[in-house]
A = this chain, B = another copy of it.
């Protein structure tokens, strides 16, 4: 037992289903290394990351997609720059209470996630 768990074992200690572990990997968020025969092997660091990921999502009401986008933002500098530039060119409206619809949506989503 060389300090690494198979996908099924990792599933049990992290709460993510094996299916989701593969999905999370395909999103580039947590990528285990592989045994010579191709089995996924999750080390302590990956396991910790998977647990933290769960908190990150539920505490802020975001999804894997959002975290995936954040990943793109830090990998693709051009993308980050373009987004930054777009926000920078903000018109007047210096201080204001942000879009009610949007926030209500996000809050509801958050509440639902917490309730589940």
Residues in A lying within 8 Å of B, measured CB to CB = 25-28, 31, 33, 43, 45-46, 48-49, 52-53, 56, 59-60, 62, 65-76, 78-79, 82-83, 86-87, 89-93, 96, 98-99, 101-103, 106
Name A's interface SS: helix
Number of copies: 2
Q: Which residues of B contact A92 (CB under 8 A)?
A: 43, 45
Question: In the complex, are the beta carbons of B99 and A53 less than 8 A apart?
Answer: no
Question: In the complex, are the beta carbons of B31 and A93 less than 8 A apart?
Answer: yes
Question: In the complex, are the beta carbons of B45 and A91 less than 8 A apart?
Answer: yes
Question: In the complex, are the beta carbons of B27 and A89 less than 8 A apart?
Answer: no
The 10 nearest A-B residue pairs measured at CB: A45-B91, A28-B99, A26-B101, A28-B102, A66-B69, A70-B83, A60-B79, A28-B98, A27-B102, A56-B86
